[in-house]
Chains A and B, each alone.
Chain A
């Protein structure tokens, strides 16, 4: 190996009442290919069963690997607030975020950091794959991070890394986003400063879907509300247009549903049915958020959305054209 300058990295994970799953995530973070003395793990725990003994057991595990671990408790105030608390306590130049229900690939940190290859790159996101799982999760598609970054221009919170100095300049995550869309908000504000976001194919995170339908619906509903809060913060996001598009998508899905009943593949049917349920719960979330959510007036950001492709007319037209060409 040639002599490379490894930058100091902090990995921040926020966990809330998911002890069993979280242990697996923690193990995977300890077992990274990045030099052990060049990264630290910061865990913000908001669980109910938090005790000092628990911290000790985690610390011992980390000591075995020789990795610096900060295990901190914060009262449950939402994901954004927990992440901010993590940033305050992290000392790395680059900060990687993942969720407590994910498992990191061995080369995850290394490949994410490699993505920061020039001055203008503000944030890097990696690939998200489905962790082998039982239940309904089998029927759900994975998150397409590539199109998120290039079209929607935000990075999913399950697999993202930002430069610490930028995060400090823009003041970290917005704590008003309690669930959902906090990652979109931070990406928009990073982009405002002229920085670009980058997709790294090789930084892989394995990701679990919620396994029962009720949880999934609740999650989508939460995301919907988060999205409409985003629309309140950025008035040019055209939230009404987004609602309209979602409605079209839903109607399209329902209208073509009978067609897939004819097919032999029974999995397809389940997949489509779940898709319809989830899209509609997301839509309900967006609408109810649109009606009820209020955002403090002095914090509204009136910027342009040139980099937000899917709501631009050209992009839509192309997409619709492609859809009909295939049929």
Chain B
């Protein structure tokens, strides 16, 4: 028999009372042994009465349930507070707008098969999509990203690895998952993907929200590139994204001849919106953003970029 490892689930929350309740319900209803996991909710300075909800749910909890509060400092700081107070060997992260499948913890933990695995990510599936933005505007594809980093909506890391690298970077308000992925990989651990650990995520439901989010990501990307001196060059990514924007716009008319053209066109259309708002964020960010923390000047060989010529060639081939 394999011994059952103790797991901590860390959920940061900010002003999302309704979704948090559903999230907690799904976390209480896991197939993993109830005495072998704990739930840690970190209240990131909510103002909508989240604390009362948490008090109420603390009574109902079938497993260990801890709550912490802090001033509003962003999700990375909230997660770090959670990590400090966790006692599990493995720490699973999910968000307050996610609902976990009942076998989520079990299947994530199963994937930590050897010493070299530092983190495991699972599949993120749309939760009750109704609007068009929810259906076509999401790009939460964990499978493609898992080589580089794991989205924190559905990820698990080993506690000792997190302690060694010092948790999330609190200077980044977003894209902290990319940063963490890089630092875990720099230590020589590998990241894995399992399709069986499923989390249902409530995607951005209005176009405005989606655009604002992408704009914000673009800005944060600049901050990330300021942190890594040798990587994530802003100019390079600006050109790369512009090329992909041109490529998608150029191939948009060709979608008319495809079989389910409605889906294709909508998907491409949302791609254009996402990329262009990210580019806007990138341009604005390059003028305003600055990274206040300690910079990284190492060269990391697993972050090899394609050259611009290769990207152009690929785009041409697509057309």
Asked whether A170 lies within 8 Å of B127 as measured between CB atoms, the reply is no
Asked whether A171 lies within 8 Å of B195 as measured between CB atoms, the reply is no
Asked whether B26 lies within 8 Å of A303 as measured between CB atoms, the reply is no
Whether, in the assembled complex, A316 has its beta carbon less than 8 Å from a beta carbon of chain B, the answer is no
Asked whether A303 lies within 8 Å of B126 as measured between CB atoms, the reply is yes
Closest A residue to B25 by beta carbon equals: A298
Whether, in the assembled complex, A302 has its beta carbon less than 8 Å from a beta carbon of chain B, the answer is yes
> Known contacts A169-B103, A194-B143, A298-B29; is A303 also within 8 Å of B196 by CB?
no
CA distance A303 to B100 in the complex (A): 11
Taking CB atoms, residues of chain B closer than 8 Å to A303 are 125-127, 200
> What does the 1/0 interface line of B123-140 toward A look like (CB < 8 Å)?
101111100000100000
Taking CB atoms, residues of chain A closer than 8 Å to B29 are 298-299
CA distance A36 to B125 in the complex (A): 42
Asked whether B125 lies within 8 Å of A304 as measured between CB atoms, the reply is yes
Asked whether B123 lies within 8 Å of A302 as measured between CB atoms, the reply is no
Asked whether B195 lies within 8 Å of A193 as measured between CB atoms, the reply is yes
Majority-rule SS of B interface residues? mixed
CA distance A317 to B127 in the complex (A): 27
Taking CB atoms, residues of chain A closer than 8 Å to B99 are 302
Centre residue among B101, B103, B195 by max chain A CB count within 10 A: B195
Whether, in the assembled complex, B107 has its beta carbon less than 8 Å from a beta carbon of chain A, the answer is yes
Interface residues on A, range: 10 to 19
Closest A residue to B202 by beta carbon equals: A302
CA distance A76 to B196 in the complex (A): 30
Whether, in the assembled complex, A166 has its beta carbon less than 8 Å from a beta carbon of chain B, the answer is yes
Whether, in the assembled complex, A301 has its beta carbon less than 8 Å from a beta carbon of chain B, the answer is yes
Asked whether B123 lies within 8 Å of A194 as measured between CB atoms, the reply is yes
Asked whether A304 lies within 8 Å of B196 as measured between CB atoms, the reply is no
Closest A residue to B127 by beta carbon equals: A302
Whether, in the assembled complex, A195 has its beta carbon less than 8 Å from a beta carbon of chain B, the answer is yes
Whether, in the assembled complex, B262 has its beta carbon less than 8 Å from a beta carbon of chain A, the answer is yes
Asked whether B135 lies within 8 Å of A304 as measured between CB atoms, the reply is yes
Asked whether A194 lies within 8 Å of B135 as measured between CB atoms, the reply is no
CA distance A236 to B134 in the complex (A): 14
Whether, in the assembled complex, A254 has its beta carbon less than 8 Å from a beta carbon of chain B, the answer is no
CA distance A12 to B126 in the complex (A): 34
> Known contacts A192-B198, A303-B200; is A171 also within 8 Å of B126 by CB?
no
Asked whether B196 lies within 8 Å of A169 as measured between CB atoms, the reply is yes
Asked whether A301 lies within 8 Å of B103 as measured between CB atoms, the reply is no
CA distance A298 to B102 in the complex (A): 9
Expressed in whole angstroms, the minimum distance between the Cβ of B171 and any Cβ of chain A is 35
Whether, in the assembled complex, B260 has its beta carbon less than 8 Å from a beta carbon of chain A, the answer is yes
Whether, in the assembled complex, B31 has its beta carbon less than 8 Å from a beta carbon of chain A, the answer is yes
> Known contacts A169-B103, A298-B26, A299-B102; is A192 also within 8 Å of B260 by CB?
no
Expressed in whole angstroms, the minimum distance between the Cβ of A238 and any Cβ of chain B is 12
CA distance A247 to B198 in the complex (A): 36
> Known contacts A298-B26, A303-B126, A304-B125; is A170 also within 8 Å of B103 by CB?
yes
Asked whether B200 lies within 8 Å of A171 as measured between CB atoms, the reply is no
> Known contacts A171-B103, A192-B198; is A302 also within 8 Å of B128 by CB?
yes
Taking CB atoms, residues of chain B closer than 8 Å to A304 are 125-126, 128-129, 135
Asked whether A193 lies within 8 Å of B127 as measured between CB atoms, the reply is no
Asked whether A236 lies within 8 Å of B128 as measured between CB atoms, the reply is yes
18 further contact pairs, Cβ within 8 A, besides A170-B196, A194-B143, A302-B99: A169-B103, A169-B107, A169-B196, A170-B103, A171-B102, A192-B125, A192-B198, A194-B195, A235-B128, A298-B26, A299-B102, A301-B101, A302-B127, A302-B128, A303-B125, A303-B200, A304-B129, A314-B260
The contact sample of 23 A-B pairs, CB cut-off 8 A, is A166-B196, A169-B107, A170-B196, A171-B103, A192-B123, A192-B125, A192-B198, A193-B196, A194-B123, A195-B195, A235-B128, A236-B128, A236-B129, A301-B101, A302-B127, A302-B128, A302-B200, A303-B126, A304-B126, A304-B128, A304-B135, A314-B260, A314-B262
